[in-house]
Amino acid sequence: MEFKSVVGWRRSIRWFDPWREPEREKIQSILEAVYRAPRVLEVDFLHLGVVYRDRLSHEEMQTLKTPTTTAQLDMAPVYIFFFADVQALEEACRGQNFRELMRVGVLNRSHGWSEEFVTNTAAAYLESVRDAEARVPLRLPAPGGEGSPMLVSRETLRLARTAIGIAQAYALLAAVEEGLGAQLSGVSVAAARGILGFPPTWVPSSPMLLGYRAESREAGGQRPREPFEEDFFELRYGHPFYREPAVVEQLKAAGMIQEPALFPWRMEEIRGLARKFGLPD
């Protein structure tokens, strides 16, 4: 699909055909897209976990649910979890990724890169992030509850969460490209830790629920947004970036900007889907 069309068709899908598991090839394609995502400061933060709903027990499923993630967890056949390993920053401070990029001609002398720069400047920059004063505990203590939660700098978390967000963007769009529906939705972190067994240095984020859509592709229409000029500025804060109508029209023609919600038949669709799955109407 054309990129702009992929962006336009992305929705937070909450209705899946629970009996239809996405093909493994499609799941791998999503992972491969994330694999090509840019790294934040060349740190290998990311880990993703693919979980198949039908391999979880009923009890495990129930523990994952939160006030905002309910029926869609029962419907989506696959969940993809995103993590950033804060320990990766420690590893990155040794500078090996920078050296590798120098070796393959990505980072060059033209931009000041050298062994001295890696050791004295680039790695030192990463160390300053790692060692920044403001620190917070990672949300969960070590397994078994022993000891205090690990403290990490807010600056480390800033980079880690950015890395997760980049991965989530790539995954969501790849899901659309593969003809699947997807939604990021929060689950119980403690329950996820028990099920997936991820280390205490991994920062979790909302998993992506994945499956074949039960609702229409339009899913009621593109979701509303605040005015463009509230989000984007030019030259300085407070000077809105002028939104040229001709560009908007061009993006409508390209399928990136689509008909906004609420479609006239959306509520009828919801009622029909509720009946299909025996959910409250």
Partner 1 sequence: MDFYRTVGNQRAEQYFLPWRPVERQKVQVILEAGRLASRAVNTAFAKAIVAYRDSLTAAEREKLKTPFSAVLVDTASVYLFWYHDMDARRVAIEERKWPTVASGALVDIGALGPPHGWSHRYVQNVVLPEVLMPGLDAGPQRGGNADAGLAMAQGLLAALDEGLAACLAPFDEAGAKEVLRTPDTWEPVMGMFLGYPADSAEAGGQEPRPPFESMFFEQHASEPFARDEQVTKRLEGAGLIQRPAPVPWREKEVRAVSRMLGLPHEEAQP
Name which of residues 84 to 123 contact partner 1 (CB under 8 A).
100-101, 103-112, 117, 121-122
Could you say which residues in the range 222-261 bind partner 1, by CB under 8 A?
Answer: 222-226, 228, 230-238, 241, 243-244, 246-248, 250-251, 256-257, 261
In the DSSP assignment, the letter for residue 162 is H
Residue 58 touching partner 1 (CB under 8 A): no
Return the structure tokens found at 2: 């054309």
- Minimum Å distance from CB 122 to partner 1? 6
Q: Is 129 helix (H, G, I), strand (E, B) or coil?
A: helix
- Minimum Å distance from CB 260 to partner 1? 8
Of 17, 60, 63, 66, the residue at the interface with partner 1 (CB under 8 A) is 66
Instruction: Please tell me the distance from the alpha carbon of residue 198 to that of residue 51, in angstroms, as a whole number.
Output: 13
Of 170, 189, 201, 255, the residue at the interface with partner 1 (CB under 8 A) is 170
Query: Binding mask 7-46 vs partner 1 (x if CB under 8 A, - otherwise)?
Result: xx-x-x-x---------xx--xx-xxx-xxxxxxxx-x-x
Instruction: Please tell me the distance from the alpha carbon of residue 189 to that of residue 186, in angstroms, as a whole number.
Output: 8
Question: Nearest Cα to 168, choosing from 10, 25, 59, 277?
Answer: 10
Residue 161 touching partner 1 (CB under 8 A): yes
- Minimum Å distance from CB 135 to partner 1? 10
- Minimum Å distance from CB 58 to partner 1? 16
Instruction: Please tell me the distance from the alpha carbon of residue 251 to that of residue 258, in angstroms, as a whole number.
Output: 9
Q: How long a stretch of residues is the chain?
A: 281
- Number of C-beta neighbours around residue 126 at 10 A: 23
